[in-house]
Structure 1
């Protein structure tokens, strides 16, 4: 695996990327609370040492115990399948545009367990429109956002937020790619129930090929 595009500060990313498993299949989370930031940060530090790399990533279509502990994802139907990819790095790390695009919309999704500050870019990609979502950012970045403003590939668009502003999570970027925004602005579902996945087929793309090249 090699990095095709750095979404996280290249100086941090130069220390290497490694995959992290937050799925219900990881028995570590049977006895440890993944939603506890201190527990998660300790686990993350141990994995960084183990892999001798720094930026943890993963999560596309991963079924996570994390969401089963949050009432936000338990309203009538259990939503626990993660539809984007997460990249963990320290708060304040810069976040960069995946490709040339313009600001479609942005919002501060500030209820507990949500994205916090979120920006969505619109792109022309292989003759079709696609949209990239960047969630869990810093509130201070929002002052520089404006609908229609263009960002070039790899240009800095934001920084990672703290748990106090990013929805209550260990600092990370939620990155997601959509082909249709439906009627959403500044937001788009990032977690779904198993029985909802078919309705997102061809609408939410695998984000990994936009970031990594397999070797």
Structure 2
């Protein structure tokens, strides 16, 4: 069994531009419990950006983070997540920074797969790396990247820990979101290529136990 606390504390500074130290990060609440989203549309980028800027001013910090197992109002605004079971639980973490911010490899690994998941509300350009951790396979997913980065990827290509692997994409290329990185760690990826569920229904959470690791040790 992979020890999450030991594994995840390794690479905090490598996920996005390391000029942003840990002290530059602050948590943000996009959950259905935040009353601000009762009267404000979280899916409206202008509204969200103003909220983000306000939180930056309040905290004096710049990089917003959060989202692991957060039940979000955002997904209740999208038909994409309403078909069948209502999917509104976020399964990775998000880091908000400007488009063009560099994204870095979590640890040594090779390109497992990649794709441009370009339908509205999806990941946009997505990269999945495969890692060998103490003889066990581990997979990291990086979503909402820039389309131009895709020309630098090829299956089997190797990245070293902290190498720049991509940059954050603009809303028109990243699935329609305020620029941010969706980061997720999986112990088994099955048959998925260039994609993996990042939002789940409450009823599905038990199915992902042991498959999607808690990445919060990267932040706290």
Asked if 1:150 is matched to 2:185, the reply is no
Question: Does the 8 Å contact 2:69/2:92 carry over to 1?
Answer: yes
Secondary structure at the aligned position of 1:81 is classed as strand
What is the CA distance between 1:2 and its match in structure 2? 11
Match for residue 206 of structure 1? 214
Which residues of structure 2 form unaligned runs of 5+?
1-8
**Secondary structure in structure 2 of the residue aligned to 1:120:** strand
Answering whether residue 174 of structure 2 is matched by residue 166 of structure 1, we say yes
Q: For 2:87, what is the secondary structure of its paired residue? A: coil
**Deviation by residue 1:126-178 (Cα, 9 ceiling, x = unmatched):** 33111000000000000000011111111100000000000000000000000
Do the aligned residues in 2 keep the contact of 1:15 with 1:54 (CA within 8 Å)? no
What is the alpha-carbon distance in structure 2 between the residues aligned to residue 42 and residue 142 of structure 1? 30
Show the counterpart of 1:98: 106
5+ residue gaps, structure 1, are none
So what's the TM-score if we normalise by structure 1? 0.95
Contact 1:15 1:55 in 2 (8 A): no
Are the counterparts in 2 of residues 62 and 82 from structure 1 also a CA contact under 8 Å? Answer: yes
* Cα separation, 2, equivalents of 1:98 and 1:156: 10
Check whether the contact 1:13–1:55 (CA below 8 A) recurs between aligned residues.
no
1:53 match:
61
SS in 2 for 1:132: strand
Q: In the aligned structure 2, how far is the partner of 1:119 from the partner of 1:184? A: 12
Aligned residues: 212
Normalised TM-score (structure 2)? 0.93
Q: Contact 2:11/2:106 (CA < 8 Å) preserved in 1?
A: no
Residue in 2 aligned with 1:131? 139
- Cα deviation, residue 182, structure 1: 1.2
Deviations 1:58-80 (A, max 9, x none): 00000001000000000111000
Indicate the larger mover: 2-11 or 131-140.
Answer: 2-11
Asked if 2 retains the 8 angstrom alpha-carbon contact of 1:6 and 1:13, the reply is no
SS of the equivalent of 1:40 reads helix
* Correspondence for 2:82 among 57, 74, 98: 74
- Distance of 1:14 and 1:195 partners within structure 2: 34
Q: Which moved more, 1:12-21 or 1:26-35?
A: 12-21
How far does the alpha carbon of each residue in 1:79-138 deviate from its partner, in whole angstroms, 9 at most, with x for none? 000000000000000000011110000000000000000000001123311100000000
